[in-house]
Structure formats: structure tokens, C-alpha cells
A and B are shown apart, each in its own frame.
Chain A
Amino acid sequence: MGKEIPAEKSLNLIRGRLCDPSFIFRPLSASSDSNYSKLKFIVSTSITEGCNNSILLLGPRGSGKAAVLDLVVGDLLEQFPDSVSVIRLNGLLHSDDNCAFKEIARQLCMEHHLLFSKMASFDENSHFIIAMLRECGLAHKTIIFVLDEFDMFAQGKQRLLYSLLDAMQSVTSQAVVIGISSRLDADQLLEKRVRSRFSHRKILFLPPSRDELDGLLEHLLSLPADSSFPSGYVSRFNDKIKNITSDRRFKDILKTFFNAHSTVNSFLKFIFCAVSLMNLESGLLSLENFKAALSSMQRQPKLEAVRDCSVLELYLLVCMRRLEVKEQSSYNFISVMKEYKAIHDSFQTSDYYAQNVCIRGFEHLRERQVICYAENRGQSQTGEYRPMKLLISASELHQGMRSHACCPAILLKLLDH
């Protein structure tokens, strides 16, 4: 493999930046009153003063809570190399208490080069953890517990939370518990005894402002002027980016995008889609890339499902819709077939098929989740007699049929009538 073409290199570089959270959030956290500095202040004071602390990071999904925390932890590990150790837990994986204690014990063992036995019981693990906390407290070493998906730990009996917070209060320990959650009321989920031991510090992650995002865009897309790229290419690329971002149409695209999405992660996904569409021959981005990325993010799955239907399936959908319009509160396959026959008798359509073919069409619609059974019980009936319901609205059906490739005109007429 000879040298890569510069377009591929720049693509690799930008995509690598997009998938690397620390690159993205460092400039966003540069100012002094950002969440990054607040968090860093709290944790570093508790390290230097040797006290316990607990914080919650709250914000919608994709606003960079874990990324900012990783930045803070990385900086602290550099600053205090020997007096910090980090234990990471995730609510998705470790919500079961046994699992959680085992994982904490395993990570502690790895940190301190001890032997870990998978056969240790729950009691042994918890004694071990408390003993380690005491030892680290005596040695002035702070343990930072990072609890991702904090609300999942708050389900059930909250044993893990209670034991951690209780150990922090009773034992001579130095520990910081940082919880990350996308539920804004995560602290309301705590039990009384846990909540009393929890210091109610919360850091809220709000969506970034437009200026910050513009700055982020530039930061992401400008290529560095180093020697690995051909010299003219870098300046051409950066000029093109400047042209695009100052274009009014681009600002419109961004405005449409931000009407629906507000978090940083969705913005990154948008840029990722746009950058992947880069023309590899010219190696430059263009406005069309961004337009195409925007339309790919505005999917309408129900419309796509209706457009994929065959003509027979459209007939069945129209029959069901007509039964709904006639205010029949519940209908099943047999009643739909009656309506189908009635349509055929009055309009003499060419599309009248036998019952088993229609059952097959029904099954296809049910697989695609366009219709479903109305109740889950009633298993003793065959599928023909169970009540069904439509999962798409009338307007979606209308739109889908109008954009269908070969929808017969009579169906549209039947739907409107």
C-alpha cells in the first residue's frame, strides 16, 4: 500500500476526532465557569483535603457528562499520580449487587496487584472493599467511584449505594462517589437512608449555545497545517469549510437541524454523516453533503413501511381505515375481509384475492409493525378472530399512499370518502 490519498487521510482524521470524546469536549470546557472546572474543583479539593464527597452529574443523553468526567479524571491522574485510583461501574451491567461488588473487588485487585478469585462470595467481597477503603484512607489515597447510569443502581434495594455511602461516613476513608444519570430526578429515586448520606451536589449539563457549537464545528473540521498533508490541500480544504459555514443556506440547514436535536452527540452524528459523504476524488466537503446528511437524519419509518407494501396490503390497510371511520371500535380479520368484499362488489376492482393470500398479506403487515393485535390475551383464538388495530395514523397512510410507486387511484378515493 503506497501512501494514502490525502482525501482518505483527512477523512480518517476527522472521523477519528468525531469518535473521540475528549477532543470534542476539551474546547467546550475551556471557560472557567464550565461544568468541567466546577467538577474539577470539587474533586481536587476533596483529594487535597482528604475528605469524602458525592456528586451527581445530570443531563440529557449525549450531552457529554461521561466525556467531561473522563477529562477531569485524566487531568487529576496526571496531577496526583499516586494518590488517586478510579473504580468504574455501569448501571446497565452491574445493577445486580453481587455483580457490582464482584466488579469493584476485581478492579481494586487489578489496581493494587492483588490476586482476585472469582469464587469469592458476596460477604467476602464486601468485607474486602471496606477493608480496602480503610487502608486507602490511612494511606491518604483517594478512591473515585464512577457510577454510570446511576438511576439503574437506584432500583431495587439500593444495597450498593447504601454500603458505599455508609462506608464513606463510618470508616476512615477517602472516597468520592460520582454518579452520572440522564434522569433529571435521579436523586429523588434514592431511599431515605441513602439520601441522608448523600451530599446533594448536582451539576447540570445543559445543551450548548449556538456560538459554542459554531466554534466546535470549526475546531472539528479544520485540518492542521502539518507536513503530512500536501500543502495546497490544507489551505483549499479550510477555505472551502469557511465558505460553507458562512453560506446562508448552511445556516438554514443548521437551524432546521437544531429544531429537532439539541445535544452535542446528535450534532456529532450529523457531522459524521456529512463527512462520510465527502467526495473522495476532490477531497473537499460541499454543501450537498450536509443537505444529504440532514435528510438521512430525518427518517420517517412508517412512510417507508407503507411505501414498501404491495397493492394487496394497501387494500387491507384501506379497509381497516374505513372500518375505523365507520366507528367500529374493534375489528378483526373476518370483518376486514367483509369490507374488502364489499369494496370489490361495489367497484369491481381487479384485485380480489382469496382468503389465504390475504392472510399472508396480513402477516407481512404485522411483521413490519404496521398493524398489530389489539390485546395480548385471547391466545385461544386463531389469528383470524383476534381484534386488530392500525399502528399508523390516517395522515401517514395518506402520505404513504400518495408517494407509493403504483398505488391504484381507487384506493385514494376510498380513503378520502
Chain B
Amino acid sequence: MPKEESSKVTRRSTRSSASVTVENPEPNVSHPPTIDDLTFGDESITLDAVLSDFPGRRSQIFDFIRLMGPLDCPTLPIMIYGGASTGKTSVVLQVLRHLNRPFVYSSCRTCYNPRILFESILNQLLLHRKCSSNGYSSAKRCDKPSDFVNLLREALSNVIKTLESASGISRSDKPDGKPMGKMVYLILDNVDLIRDWDKGTMILQFLFSLDSVLKMPQLGIVLISGLPPDVYYSNMGYTDPIPLFFPAYSEEDLRQIFLRNQANPKLYSAFLDAVLRSFCRVTRRVEELSTTFSSLFRKYCEPLDDLGISPNEDMKRRLYSYLKPFIAPCLNDIFRVSSHPHDGETRGERRQKVSYSSENREELKILDFHMSTSAKYLLIAAFLASRNPATLDASMFDSTGGMDNRRRKRKASEKSMEKKEIAEQEAVMKGPGSFPLERLLAIFQCIASVGDSSFGEENQGEEEEDPTGYDRENNNLMSDILLQVSSLCDANFLIKSGSCPLEGSIRYRSMVSEDLALKVAKSLSFPLAKYLYRR
């Protein structure tokens, strides 16, 4: 008997866990998996249920069913491809549930390297479930494609033998969840992620030629990919699988999808009339639209007392005019609906420093996360250091505070305009410049001293007494600067760029957009525009 290589995971135990003894035995281990577990498991559904579950996917569902063929029909490999959230995986699984055929499903997103992928497929075929009694290990250890082919062949022949004997016994039409037929389908999801794996192209070519390597007609292979098949073409050739395309949903389909499972379809359809067309111009993906619509719909329903009524034309117009001011900022924002104009009660909680207005646009200029004052100054200093060339520092940060515009009076000739344009383009392509740490600290000291005076003024408005005088503010701003720098690096506001081998100091680069810098400066009442160099 050939020696079986066991794949037990040796567990290292800490001293504390080794001393503690396990008290209760494992409560009621579920039954070991049988051949019936290869099907979807729940009750089978009719074709009409599948078609109504997936509006807009009618032709794809029919194509897929036709490609699968009637019972026990051998098939060439199929590749299903389409954009994200177009329903590929769910359609495949639901159709297999309807057809009641045994299948093995594995996703290359959860099985992130070949070994886990192969072992997951083999576990399902060998009807092995990982539990504590076998130490959460797989049935067989397999990380090479050659071992996988041999083990797969064995496991498949066992499964097919069981299926054949089972199908001989009972062949009733009743959809009772028992697997039908003698074929097993292998479904591999997210195949496009394999391209990023180590040796990904070899694995991909192996998967595409799996059916010709195995030469078992009882296995049907379905590959689901987010990218079209032309992405996989490489130096090593293979015969293409049969493609099946899932296009993105049209507006009509999106309307039907969003109308499903709504408590009040008429109200929701009035809502969709208002918003769907404009949002479809930005994105047609279901997952992005659904997050926006759920929050917008709540806003839409706010003036209504009774959510069960069906609106007439007049009410629809009034609801639309209520919703209208929220739509435009929502289009320009992802995942969020502004809520300030509605929150009348929180008005009192606003700090007096922040200017508040009922316009939605103002709300976008307020910084929505908290940073300490020294960190804000450091951020602005980094932004200035990246944007301004180093040679202008002396004139920029002298005692007069800020650049004066005396030099603008000279008329620009055409050649210098062209040069300016080219220089601007290059600047845009290169991105923000890098600066050494010393320059950052120098700029920080300059602007912190500028801001100190204004900071001191505002502090006088507050009630607290400051016995030690203004020195304390100064010290507070200068302490822990290096800590602040490293926390800004962690938050990705600064990144470390390459260090110059001659100088030996580390250079940093600011990754802050101009909008954010303006917001931060505004929250400190810092005149940022005076210090920015505009070409």
C-alpha cells in the first residue's frame, strides 16, 4: 500500500493554552458531507423563478442553459465574462440550482494561491470537510498541477461512480435537491485574479487546457472572469473556451432591479424617475448606485408621513422639488449624502470658529476630520514645500509675509508664454516635488510663527486662563514634530521619496490635493493663497 502523506498541520501551542484543558467536547458535529452536498442544497427552483430573479439577464440565462445542454451532455469549456456586479456568479449558481446538477465551486479570490485552490476543489470532490476532528486540514496535500491532475482524476471517478449508482436507483422528476445526472461541473470564479499570482500564466494555461489534459468527458468546466478573453492571450497558446458575455445593465434593467423587493413600488418608481437618468450618466454599476439610492430615498421620503401611499402627480412634483437640492452634490460625491441643511437641532453644537451657512456648497469646504493644530501647520508646510521651488523660499517667507505681485506688470511675449505652457505641462506630469526634512521644518517654523499671532488672538476669546503666557502655545506647536511627520506619513499625506545618496537625508513628497490644503488652511484662517507660487 503506498504510504499516504498526511497533511496534518502541526500546531504550536503557547504555554497558557497548553495548560488549559478543553472542557466540553465538540458540540454536535454536523453530518459528514455526502454526494448530495455537491448540489446547491436548497430546494430547486423553476426556470421562471430564475428569470424573474434576474431582470435584464434573460438572453444570457437562456444561452447558458443551452450551452450546458440537456442532462449528461458533454460540453466544451465555457468562459463567462463581464464587468463587475453584472450577476455572473449568481446567475451560474442559480441556473445550476434550477437544473439540479452536481457542481464544485471555487473562487480564486478566496483561494489566493494554487495550493489552496487545488486543495479546495479536491476537498469538495472527496466530500471532506475541515473540522476540528481532523485539525482543519485538507484531505490531500497538493500544490503542483501534476499532483492535482492525478488526484482530480481519482476523485472524479469516485464521484461519478457514486452518481451513476445513485441515478440508477431513483429517477424521479421531483425537485428534491438530489443531484441529477452523471456529470460534475467545475466552476472557477474570478479567474482574472490568477494573472497577478506567482507563475500566474502557467496556471492559467493549465486551467484552460485542463479538459484536454484530463480527457474525462464527465467533467464540465465553467470559468468566470471579470476581464474579456483577449486579456489572457500570451505567448503560450491554448484553445479558447466558448465565451459568453454579460453586458452592463441598461437603464430599463436598472429600474427593474431597483424596483424589486420594495415595500412601496409606486413611490420608489417615482423616486427613480427623478434620479435614475442623471446618476446613470455617471456610473451604471449596481453596487455604487444602490448605496447612493438607499440614502437618497430616505431623504426623499422625509416629508411623507405615511410611507405606504402612492403619490399622485402633484405630490411627485413636490417631493422632487424637495429632493432636488440634494441631487447635485450627491452626484459629485461618492458614498455620501449631505445631511447638514436638514439637521436643525445640531446647529447649536457647531463651534463658533467654523463659519456656517445653509448653502450646501459651504459644507464641502469644512474639514471633516480632526487634526491637531501643529499637524495642520505641518501639512500646509509640506504642501507649500512641494509646490514652490526651493529658490523662492527666501523671498516668500521673509518678514513682509507673502509674495507681492509687483513683478506681474511685465507683458509676456509669445515665446515666454509658450515656455510657460510647456513648463506647466511638465510640472503637471512630474507631480509634486520632493523636499528634505530640513526645508519642511524651516517653512513650518515660519508659518507657525505667523499663525501664532492669530492663534493667540482667538485664544483670548475663550474662558481658560493661561498662566504661563504665550510661550506655551509656541512650545506646544514645536513639540513632537518628528512624531507628527511620521503620523502624516502613515496617513499618506506625506510619502518618503528616494533619498539622495550625496546628501544622505530622506526626502519627502506631499500627496495632499489643493482642495484639502485649502480646507486645512481655512480651518486655521491661514492665508494660503499668498504663499503659493503661481507660474
Q: Taking beta carbons and an 8 Å cutoff, which residues of A are in contact with B?
A: 1, 4, 8, 11-12, 15-16, 18-20, 61-62, 66, 90, 92-94, 99, 103, 106, 115-119, 182, 265-266, 268-269, 272-273, 276-277, 280, 296, 299, 301-302, 304-305, 307-308, 310-312, 328, 330-332, 334-335, 338, 351, 353-357, 360-361, 364, 367-369, 380-382, 384-385, 387, 405-406
Q: Distance (Å) between the CB of B428 and the closest chain A CB? A: 5
Of the stretches B237-245, B262-270, B300-308, B400-408, the one at the interface is: B237-245
Q: Distance (Å) between the CB of B314 and the closest chain A CB? A: 27
Q: Which residue of B lies closest to A332 (CB)?
A: B429
| Residue contact B69 to A276, C-beta cutoff 8 Å | yes
Interfacial chain B residues near A1, Cβ < 8 Å:
171-173
Can you show 12 pairs from A to B with CB atoms below 8 A apart?
A: A19-B76, A92-B205, A273-B242, A276-B66, A276-B67, A301-B229, A311-B282, A331-B429, A356-B332, A360-B334, A384-B431, A406-B251
| B73 in the interface (beta carbon within 8 A) | yes
| Residue contact B237 to A61, C-beta cutoff 8 Å | yes
7 tightest A-B CB contacts, nearest first: A385-B431, A301-B228, A354-B332, A93-B146, A311-B281, A308-B248, A8-B70
Give Cα distance in the complex from A276 to B67, angstroms. Answer: 6
**Which of A310, A330, A361 has most chain B Cβ within 10 Å?**
A310
Interfacial chain B residues near A301, Cβ < 8 Å:
228-230
Give Cα distance in the complex from A338 to B70, angstroms. Answer: 56
| B498 in the interface (beta carbon within 8 A) | yes
**Which of B66, B75, B146, B205 has most chain A Cβ within 10 Å?**
B146
Give Cα distance in the complex from A179 to B235, angstroms. Answer: 20
Tell me which of A4, A273, A299 contacts B245 (CB under 8 A).
Answer: A299
Give Cα distance in the complex from A405 to B498, angstroms. Answer: 47
| B2 in the interface (beta carbon within 8 A) | yes
Give Cα distance in the complex from A11 to B280, angstroms. Answer: 42
| Residue contact A12 to B69, C-beta cutoff 8 Å | yes
| Residue contact A11 to B69, C-beta cutoff 8 Å | yes
Give Cα distance in the complex from A61 to B239, angstroms. Answer: 7
Q: Mark B197-222, 1 if CB is under 8 A from A, else 0.
A: 00000100110010011000100000
Tell me which of A15, A330, A335, A351 contacts B69 (CB under 8 A).
Answer: A15
Interfacial chain B residues near A356, Cβ < 8 Å:
332-334
Interfacial chain A residues near B72, Cβ < 8 Å:
12
Interfacial chain A residues near B12, Cβ < 8 Å:
none
Give Cα distance in the complex from A384 to B432, angstroms. Answer: 11
Give Cα distance in the complex from A191 to B248, angstroms. Answer: 52
| Residue contact A357 to B334, C-beta cutoff 8 Å | yes
| B425 in the interface (beta carbon within 8 A) | yes
Give Cα distance in the complex from A368 to B225, angstroms. Answer: 11
Q: Taking beta carbons and an 8 Å cutoff, which residues of B are in contact with A?
A: 2-3, 5, 66-67, 69-76, 83-84, 144-146, 149-150, 171-173, 202, 205-206, 209, 212-213, 217, 226-231, 237-240, 242-243, 245, 247-248, 250-251, 280-285, 288, 331-334, 425, 428-432, 495, 497-498, 509, 511, 513, 515
Give Cα distance in the complex from A55 to B252, angstroms. Answer: 60
Q: Distance (Å) between the CB of A304 and the closest chain B CB? A: 6
Give Cα distance in the complex from A305 to B144, angstroms. Answer: 35
| SS of B interface (majority) | loop
Give Cα distance in the complex from A328 to B424, angstroms. Answer: 13
Interfacial chain A residues near B172, Cβ < 8 Å:
1
Q: Distance (Å) between the CB of A14 and the closest chain B CB? A: 9
Tell me which of A182, A276, A355 contacts B237 (CB under 8 A).
Answer: A182
Tell me which of A20, A331, A334, A385 contacts B217 (CB under 8 A).
Answer: A20
Q: Which residue of A lies closest to B81 (CB)?
A: A301
Interfacial chain B residues near A305, Cβ < 8 Å:
228
| Residue contact B76 to A269, C-beta cutoff 8 Å | yes
Interfacial chain A residues near B240, Cβ < 8 Å:
269
| Residue contact B243 to A299, C-beta cutoff 8 Å | yes
| Residue contact A93 to B213, C-beta cutoff 8 Å | yes
Tell me which of B83, B209, B331, B513 contacts A353 (CB under 8 A).
Answer: B331
Interfacial chain B residues near A384, Cβ < 8 Å:
431
Interfacial chain A residues near B2, Cβ < 8 Å:
115-118
| Residue contact B425 to A335, C-beta cutoff 8 Å | yes
Give Cα distance in the complex from A265 to B209, angstroms. Answer: 13
Give Cα distance in the complex from A272 to B211, angstroms. Answer: 16
| Residue contact B282 to A310, C-beta cutoff 8 Å | yes
Q: Distance (Å) between the CB of B73 and the closest chain A CB? A: 5
**Given A115-B2, A361-B282, A380-B495 contact (CB < 8 Å):** yes
| Residue contact B284 to A310, C-beta cutoff 8 Å | yes
Q: Distance (Å) between the CB of A216 and the closest chain B CB? A: 17
Interfacial chain A residues near B242, Cβ < 8 Å:
269, 272-273
Interfacial chain B residues near A103, Cβ < 8 Å:
146
| Residue contact B73 to A12, C-beta cutoff 8 Å | yes
Interfacial chain B residues near A364, Cβ < 8 Å:
283, 285
Tell me which of A16, A62, A269, A381 contacts B73 (CB under 8 A).
Answer: A16
